Amino acid sequence: MMRLTAAPALPAAMLTVAAALLPSLAAAADAPAPRAAADFGVAPWREAVVSVADLDASAAWLVSDGGWREIVRGQLSHGELDYWGLPAAVSGAFLLICAPEADSGCIRYVRFDNAEGQRPIRLAARPWDTGGIFSIMLRSDDVQAMFDAAIARGWWAESPPYAFSFGGSELVNVVIRGPHGVNYALYQRAAPPFDGFPVGRLSQAFNTMRMVQDQARALAFFRDGLGFGVLFDAPFTDPEPRSNNFSIPANLATTLVRRAAVAQPALPGEDGRVEVMAFEGFAGRDLAEHASPPNWGIISVRYPVTDLAGYRAFLAARGVTPVHEAKGVAISGIGTADILAVRDPDGSLTEFYHAR
């Protein structure tokens, strides 16, 4: 069993959405790290896999309104369907899109045909319901315009965009909800300017958020199990009653503790992140049992790995066992890949692959 070690708490003002936008805190970690994911060539995740009923309808907001581009589309290979353990009768199609000037932080929409019993992973969920990946995080130069475009398409949101100041930065944030409850969390940093990668209307995706039952346990999985570095680990309560992006009633915002942490394969870096958050004192539903294909929603994020065999042995030594695994899988836009998937303690998938 992994031993949980509490990370030192940062100031309460270290709000998770703000921390995601501020310059990386990893600069202080200059000392050589112990053997970890980065030593096996685990790079920032290349794509999020999102299961949907209609490829083009789900991608339209990012492509038509956000300026993303289509990379490739086609039929899902039998090898990929077999890797996921789906019945032989299931077939499907995919659409891979990326932000301008980006070849990572992309989204692969997949549609499963002839699949019985499909349902949204996070059906009618609130932010504090656990299990499944809650959101894909992107940056924007104009959050209000992207919010307006989503609403015009019939999409919805957890709240209107709201502006706030944090640590000398001027920020705007909103969580937009698309088909099947798939959330896209947008961040705008007006000052100081963000220069980690191109932003524009919609940047590449740089993070995903997972709502968890036990934040310390979830963080230990990524840190001690997967060998990720920790960007920050901090509790937060609002300093004053106010509306917020998670729909917490304003009269509870100053007492409800939101505990969040961000992990990524290597520090420093501005992308390839995974965020885990727990709402302490809010007992939501557990949706973990539904966080698998062919259900609709954010299925996983996929990390490319230089030495997959070595990394698999590293995981095994830490008690992390793949739930899906295959060699020589044809994945359009990636190549022929050896690939494996692991589940975090709240049931969500994370994938690692080596393409040739």
266-309 per-position pLDDT tens digit: 999 999 999 999 999 888 999 999 999 999 999 999 999 999 99
How many C-beta atoms lie closer than 10 Å to residue 24's C-beta? Answer: 16
Task: For the chain, give the percent of residues with pLDDT over 90.
Answer: 76
pTM: 0.89
Higher pLDDT, 83 or 33: 83
pLDDT at 260: 92
Q: Helix H segments across 277-318? A: 308-317
First to last CA, the chain: 35
H or E element at residue 289:
none
| Stretch among 184-198, 199-213, 284-298 having the lowest mean pLDDT | 184-198
How many C-beta atoms lie closer than 10 Å to residue 66's C-beta? Answer: 24
* CATH fold for the domain made of 39-114+297-355: 2,3-Dihydroxybiphenyl 1,2-Dioxygenase; domain 1 (3.10.180)
Mean pLDDT of 241-251: 85
CA–CA distance from 107 to each of 98, 198, 247 (Å)?
6, 17, 26
| Stretch among 110-119, 145-154, 240-249, 281-290 having the lowest mean pLDDT | 240-249
Check pLDDT > 50 for residue 329.
Answer: yes
pLDDT at 31: 44
Structure token pair of residue 271: 């992308």
| Stretch among 31-35, 239-243, 251-255, 333-337 having the lowest mean pLDDT | 31-35
Check pLDDT > 70 for residue 231.
Answer: yes
Residue 105 near residue 206 (C-beta atoms within 8 A): yes
Q: What is the DSSP string of 157-223?
A: ESS--EEEEETTEEEEEEEEE-GGG-EEEEEEEEESPP-SS--SSS--EEEEEEE-S-HHHHHHIII
